[in-house]
Amino acid sequence: MTPFGKAWLAICVVSLIAALPPRDSVALPPRGSVASPPKDPVASPIRDTAEGQSDRYRTRMRLQMGSFTEITVPAADYTHRAVSRAFDAVEALDRLLSTYRPESEVSRLAAAGRLAVSPEVLEITALAIRMARATGGAFNPALGPVIQLWRDAEARQVPPSPAELARARRSTDYERVLLQTEPDIIAFAEPGMALNFGAIGKGYALDKAAEVLLAEGIDSAMLASGGSSHRLLGHPLERPCWEMAIRHPEAPDRLVAFLLVGAGGMATSAQSGKQRVIQGRTYGHIIDARTGRPADPETPIWSATVWAPDAATADALATALIVMEAARGLELIETRAESEALIVRRAPDGSPFLQSTSGIVRRGELDDLPLYVLVQETRCLGDSGAGDSSRLVGSPIARLGQNLRSGRPASDPPS
């Protein structure tokens, strides 16, 4: 390589490194900020940087599945081996599930129509089909042909015609995805079918990474992907629950609520943030599986946050809620004993209005913002269980709101 070439290569490498966030950190991001720079408005963990706590946690980040995977564990439990193996589990799944990798099992299945697959691909496909049935098709893992159609439309800047949409939708019946075990095989009963796990894959990967941490003896951790999917293990140091902040869907520097949750999976889906523009018209990035068209970005449901026992389930349900009517979506979650939801709706005056399932209850306010808590986690607010949030006053969670402009929700439901 010539001296000029070496110099140019060095500049490129330095520029790339400077553009990436630090891979390791001995301290969590300031609690007065919201974690990670997501493209979507999301629920975000609230972090500790109080004096004397800078060495209590260890956080590492890695670019995976098109976004950053972040793993935070107590410093006393941290081992490079354990966290690296957790990252490796995510990377292995990306190689299997990505529709951007022609060598992935999902891509090869789309090309062949029948394929012997790994146990993980069979497992996520079976889970995704169960979630599709549970949501009446609002979530659909067989939406691959329609998703690709809209990707191509954006690239060529020509929206798909009704005939193209109709043709793609004929290949999206998840009941025509056939599963076989011993050996593990997936086959399509219709030509042109393709799977796409974009709305569940990150959560599933976090669940697998969490299994690795548990096997390594780490039972308290926060795993996040893309800023919108979280898997929570155990509880934070010296706190009985995880403290999350719900962003304003259209103003990421503002909050609309705080939410206290226990171990499990948590995901937020929102129409704003990532969007596609075709011939000057803005389309939401979430496809309504029932129409084949992007969900209306002006939908009254701004964002949907779901807590579930695992992150994959939370991912799928949050996506389904965005394309469903609010009352019907909350009713769906109510039928699932181990899942809860908090949705942010757009009131007639343009302000946010919050609604939740019965398992998430309001317990007062902090910094003029509503404080919600999972019913089984009411101990987070004190022994009285009567909504006394005095123990949080002056704490880092209370201080967070002082650093962000209030996005106080409307007091009356939208008409």
With contact defined as beta carbons under 8 Å apart, do 66 and 225 qualify?
A: no
Compare 309 and 16 and report the one with higher pLDDT.
309
Share of the chain above pLDDT 90, in %: 53
In this prediction the pTM is: 0.82
| Residue 185 neighbours by CB under 8 Å, 6+ apart | 114, 115, 116, 117, 179
Span 204-223, mean pLDDT?
97
With contact defined as beta carbons under 8 Å apart, do 40 and 227 qualify?
A: yes
Share of the chain above pLDDT 70, in %: 76
Span 120-149, mean pLDDT?
96
**364 pLDDT above the threshold of 90:** no
Domain ranges of the chain: 22-89+218-406, 100-188
Q: Residue 239 — very low, low, confident or very high, per pLDDT cuts 50/70/90? A: confident
Least confident of 118-132, 200-214, 360-374: 360-374
Compare 267 and 273 and report the one with higher pLDDT.
267
| CATH no. for 22-89+218-406 | 3.10.520.10
Least confident of 208-222, 279-293, 320-334: 279-293
Would you put residue 79 in left (φ > 0), alpha (ψ -120 to 50) or beta? Answer: beta
pLDDT score for 379: 65
pLDDT score for 136: 94
pLDDT score for 23: 31
| Residue 301 neighbours by CB under 8 Å, 6+ apart | 271, 321, 322, 324, 326, 329, 343, 344, 345, 346
pLDDT score for 272: 66
Least confident of 173-182, 318-327, 346-355: 346-355
Superfamily classification of domain 100-188: ApbE-like superfamily (1.10.3980.10)
